[in-house]
Structure 1
Amino acid sequence: MANGLASAQKYPNAYVAVTGGGTAKNNPNATEADQMAAWMIANGLDENRLIVENKSKSTVQNAQFTKCFRKVPNFSCGDIRQLFLRFY
């Protein structure tokens, strides 16, 4: 998390994606993404830079559900697919 925040501070025009659905054993309403988003905001990240995907139940779903977020201007679904294919 600290490395992600440091990168966000280094690149102030970048968005930060946090992903992960309800996986907390003792609280099915808590999600990894929401917890990470809260931490980022508490540590100074502008919430308008966050992309929060909190429905996925697996790593594959993390990618599937995040790929078409419309929050990022001039971003198309094809862009993220190419990124995943290059670095997978």
Structure 2
Amino acid sequence: AANQAGAGPYSDQVSCQTPATVPDPVSVLCVLEHDPTESGVYTPSTCLALKWDEPCNNGSEITSYTLKLGEQLISLDISTCYVLQNLQPDSEY
């Protein structure tokens, strides 16, 4: 602080950190023509193989993903690929 007499001494140094926030949305999502998990369950007419880049975690490690298929929510671990199974042939998702 300062007044007409001059500046006073500096205070003790204080350190602080802002908290983490929610991760950014996935921005790079790819549909693959093969099974990235090599699970052996991939059938092109009834499966859809997805792969995505991990988004910015904004200061806290990503612990899971949620995939929304219509009204259905699918909880996933931290893997960045997944095979949707039991889909209808010749259908749009």
- Please indicate, yes or no, whether the TM-score normalized by the shorter chain is above 0.5: no
TM-score, reference length from structure 2:
0.24
Q: Hey, which of these two has a bigger chunk of helix by percent?
A: 1
Computing the radius of gyration from Cα coordinates, the structure with the larger value is 2
Q: Hey, which of these two has a bigger chunk of strand by percent?
A: 2
TM-score, reference length from structure 1:
0.25
